[in-house]
Structure 1
């Protein structure tokens, strides 16, 4: 029986691949037979990811995804794609009344505007093969729940969901599928430079029915599922992966 989850012969492009979910996704894609093209702003961690990939033919590109000129240059180097994973993002917790315009512009600029602009440029340069799969890393935040101090992050991630719904309809005639994964808190370094303390994270973990946070490889497995031929009849879907948090 042919494995519907295999990625043999597919070319996949992944952003934010220097660590966390992006790195885990790159490792799984390569392990399942894909040729992987990865990008991140951090050259050192990106090179580490590249060195961990199984197989040959993989490529890395250091790029600032918030700069249109950099996006144009990046896309010009890419081959035709069977899969695109928009994963790069940041988080900042701040009460709405203490936020500045710079906070709004930075968080939405990286989490929302950059993925949309990159998608536009990929489409304008005809980089997607027919029946390609696009996957965006959103979040349970803003889409399935709210949290104090999480308004800007939630807004940036829920905006992606709205974008994906329309994009899925636009690309359906070409049999290109567009979906999101919506993780709960996942054990990555995204929380290292926030005001959230380790003690607060430990306390928050108790609210998860399965008793722990997610792992990057678990979110990556869901992304690979959406990239694979096993989901050729799924588009416009928000795949929630939250350890049961939203059940409460």
Structure 2
């Protein structure tokens, strides 16, 4: 089957990936390039972003260092990213803080990166008409938005907010054929997960509850390719767990 006939191919598509300097965002960018996309990557660390750029396959890619938790970074991307067929909001942060210790500063830090940044960047791209007709907008949420793991109150709330916003966005962009969806990864082998373990989380116990065990960034990247490709052209307002089956027993015991 040629790339033109393959509904999962990203050949001829331009895709912006935020948070591409590490973890899931980095792998999504690499996998999109392997599937034929021209990829525009962004992240706050220029050196790590360049390391991702050197791992991309094909030609026509671009790297734009930017901090999208700041309006200046959002404006920069809206100006320089060009016309896009897909946007993946993979940038985000996580910090373990018990609910009794959260404060406005902590909430602001988490929501600035995990919620306000992707929503305002999407708004900026749409305002500049940077997302092409029949394009795809994909938010990377988290299993915590559903499971509410201990000491993740602010993080879980910030990721849950993406679901409601995505479903409203999908209605408002439907006339342009633009789809909006969410992926909620479970426990995936990334630097962020390593940070949670170092912060005191009992990751071994949590992963032991996952039927298929620890996930890899490629598992999330393959799901992202589906949502970015024409294979999902009739799917919008959708929320998919990529969690090795962990969320099913959570539902049973809720």
What SS class does the counterpart of residue 57 from structure 1 fall into? coil
Contact residue 96 and residue 199 of structure 2 kept, 8 A: no
Contact residue 93 and residue 195 of structure 1 kept, 8 A: no
Residue of structure 2 in register with 1:232 after alignment = 233
1:94 & 1:199 partners in 2: Cα distance?
Answer: 11
Residue of structure 2 in register with 1:174 after alignment = 176
What SS class does the counterpart of residue 57 from structure 2 fall into? coil
Match of 1:126 among 116, 129, 132: 129
Residue of structure 2 in register with 1:6 after alignment = 9
| Offset at residue 54 of structure 1 (A) | 0.6
1:52 paired with 2:17, answer no
Contact residue 15 and residue 39 of structure 2 kept, 8 A: yes
Residue of structure 1 in register with 2:164 after alignment = 162
Residue of structure 2 in register with 1:74 after alignment = 77
Structural mapping, 1:1-248, within 5 Å: 1=1, 2-142=5-145, 144-194=146-196, 196=198, 200-210=202-212, 212-248=213-249
2:95 & 2:151 partners in 1: Cα distance?
Answer: 8
Change over 3 Å in CA distance of 1:101–1:49 after alignment to 2: same
Q: Deviations over 1:156-210 (max 9, x none)?
A: 0000000000000000111001001011111100134446558821222111112
| TM-score in terms of structure 1 length | 0.96
1:80 & 1:205 partners in 2: Cα distance?
Answer: 40
What SS class does the counterpart of residue 129 from structure 1 fall into? strand
1:100 & 1:167 partners in 2: Cα distance?
Answer: 29
| Offset at residue 150 of structure 1 (A) | 1.1
Q: Deviations over 1:109-156 (max 9, x none)?
A: 1000011110110011110110001110001112x2122111111100
| Unaligned runs of at least 5 residues, structure 1 | none
State the number of aligned residues.
246
Contact residue 93 and residue 196 of structure 1 kept, 8 A: no
| TM-score in terms of structure 2 length | 0.93
Q: Deviations over 1:199-244 (max 9, x none)?
A: 821222111112x211101000000100000000000000111111
Contact residue 78 and residue 124 of structure 2 kept, 8 A: yes
2:197 & 2:247 partners in 1: Cα distance?
Answer: 23
Contact residue 80 and residue 128 of structure 1 kept, 8 A: yes
What SS class does the counterpart of residue 179 from structure 1 fall into? strand
1:203 & 1:68 partners in 2: Cα distance?
Answer: 39
What SS class does the counterpart of residue 225 from structure 1 fall into? helix
| Offset at residue 74 of structure 1 (A) | 2.0
| Offset at residue 73 of structure 1 (A) | 1.7
Contact residue 91 and residue 190 of structure 1 kept, 8 A: yes
Change over 3 Å in CA distance of 1:43–1:175 after alignment to 2: same
